[in-house]
Structure 1
């Protein structure tokens, strides 16, 4: 259903991610799922890794994801995807918004966004009250 099922701690050094035809995937990262796991068996190293989810990721591309409706679900993480430079979303018919209003602050290195054949996308940010400085 999402990349979180593989264990975010296993993706600390992941730089490139290409997802294609994962038709059951609804969201790429489920921050709420990660929080629930950490409540049960949280150690100091787990807490540190929770704050920097996919911090090394530079390239993210998704193709033909028929049930994908969000990139991120759950609370914002400091440093999450902060090195992302390239984001491409192709043929994701259920996707509505690319960024949440809290997560967009992390995308300081983003250089290119491609959104193609995603007919439900109505905006890049999912909340109207984005801070003016952004």
Structure 2
């Protein structure tokens, strides 16, 4: 789970792509040829030409042969990620105050007893990182 504060970035396509790219770089198996991504319908993050161009470049660069992008119907889906965020919120409500990022990170790491989250806390600016440039697409 990638987390960062507003000090380092906002919630736009560049941030999503930066985190996704980091995850793929660190965790993709060399034999893996398919990627399936579940997204919400946020246009600023997950439904825009920047993300689509990035994913297209992953296919053109033979990182993946097939990428399946899924947008569940709003209000008609209950995905595992919803339960994850529910577990985080349930634990947060038990705390009197959450006033720093370290507390939130510890809360996320310990909210599930089975399969605890691996948390990546981004502590540098994502605002100026445009991963799109790294895969050969021009400025946007």
Q: TM-score range by the shorter chain?
A: under 0.3
Give the TM-score, by structure 1 length: 0.27
Structure richer in strand, relative to its length: 1
Structure of higher CA gyration radius: 2
Give the TM-score, by structure 2 length: 0.26
Structure richer in helix, relative to its length: 2
